[in-house]
Structure 1
Amino acid sequence: MVVHAEFSFNDMVKIANSCDHSHDGQFFYAVKTTGIFCRPSCKSRCPKKENITFFPTAEDAKRAGFRPCKRCQPDMINFDPQMDLINDAKAYIQANYTENLTLTQIAQHIGISPYYLGRVFKKQMSKTPRSFLEHIRVRKAVELLINTDRSIIDICYEVGFQNASSFYHAFQKQTQCTPQQYRKDFSYGL
């Protein structure tokens, strides 16, 4: 059994059981019965104390014959499970922005609860999934305003807004001008 110089065995067990992110990279724990090693922040079920062994590095755990956990991916240096979920949500939103998306649909697609998605998204991105969706829609509307001569109402529905009022509100909030003014100021020769 390898023990980290800074922490006692019992300290490391407590840290692993509390899923503490602040100790990621300082040590790794392996579960003898499963042959898997994890970060201290892994959300997998807590193993029995007698089945745990600790390693100072992921490489040491691999050399001892343990394989990396698929949930916390301890062999990936910069892996952040929350950002992985956020990236999945962002990709889904970007691919489906024209649809009438709900938080529940996005959460179901990535396999988590709507509450958890909303909380993690806001924490990591400093905006809600709805705000991110509106940002994508307004960005696409800007492209269409500049590059086409389609009517503003057609653009509104094409980029996924359900009504003109919410489109105008979101557009003005992000660009500080109306769609008409934006088109006038930024479209060249259309």
Structure 2
Amino acid sequence: MEAADSMAQQLTEEKWQAIIRNDAAYDGSFVYAVKTTRIFCRPSCKSKAPNRENVQVFANARQALAARFRPCKRCKPTGQRLPDREWVEQITQYIDDHFRERLTLEMLADACHGSPYHLHRTFKRITGVTPVEYVQQTRIRAAQELLVRTGESVAAISSMVGMHNTPYFMTLFKKFTGRTPTEYRQMNQKQSSAEVFVHEK
């Protein structure tokens, strides 16, 4: 990975201006990658301009791929259309990394370089769930782990997994697990106690 990262070029002011102006004249001279999304683009890509500190520049698509970035679905920097399944992998990875933050369909579409409608339709076709449902599932899984491993309050855990409305979090948790957060914690504590008792015997 270090060797791949060392191929990154300096982000000069000229290249940065080409990126924020979507300047097609620079296509072919470099590609730029965004560290937060792990996606790389042509300079002319019409996607939302990234934060400068998150940008890495490479001479070509091959180097960006070697550094484990994925090609943008919108501007196709490798010259090939990105398969839907790979695009959905990008989206799920972004959700897995950012589920604690506020996420809307529009934000996901911006980050993963597509339209909200197309992203929603493609994600559901590939995974069987909508992007919003996947975000909810990811948050509830993280909450389950925190309930078992920490003594944090339900309200604190709700915020820690990106859900700042505690009553809504509790309703959603019960919908997914069949139990309230408190019941889930108590059930797991009883199981742990029973396991300890068996081992001690």
Alignment of 1:35-184 (within 5 A): 70-72=79-81, 81-184=83-186
TM-align CA RMSD: 1.4
Match of 1:40 in 2: none
Write out per-residue CA displacement over residues 57-97 of structure 1, whole angstroms, 9 at most, x where no aligned residue.
xxxxxxxxxxxx74247xxxxxxx11111110000000000
Normalised by the length of structure 1, the TM-score is: 0.57
User: Residue 169 of structure 1 aligns to which amino acid in structure 2?
Assistant: T
User: Residue 146 of structure 2 aligns to which amino acid in structure 1?
Assistant: L
User: Residue 80 of structure 2 aligns to which amino acid in structure 1?
Assistant: R
Offset at residue 162 of structure 1 (A) = 2.6
CA distance in 2, matches of 1:147, 1:186: 10
Offset at residue 124 of structure 1 (A) = 1.0
Write out per-residue CA displacement over residues 101-139 of structure 1, whole angstroms, 9 at most, x where no aligned residue.
011111111110011000111111111101000100000
Structure 2, unmatched stretches of 5+, are 1-77, 194-201
Match of 1:30 in 2: none
Identity within the alignment, %: 32
User: Residue 126 of structure 2 aligns to which amino acid in structure 1?
Assistant: Q
User: Residue 86 of structure 2 aligns to which amino acid in structure 1?
Assistant: D
Offset at residue 164 of structure 1 (A) = 1.1
Offset at residue 168 of structure 1 (A) = 1.1
Normalised by the length of structure 2, the TM-score is: 0.54
User: Residue 176 of structure 2 aligns to which amino acid in structure 1?
Assistant: Q
**Equivalent position SS for 1:162:** coil
- Moved runs in structure 1, 4+ residues, more than 3 A? none
Structure 1, unmatched stretches of 5+, are 1-68, 74-80
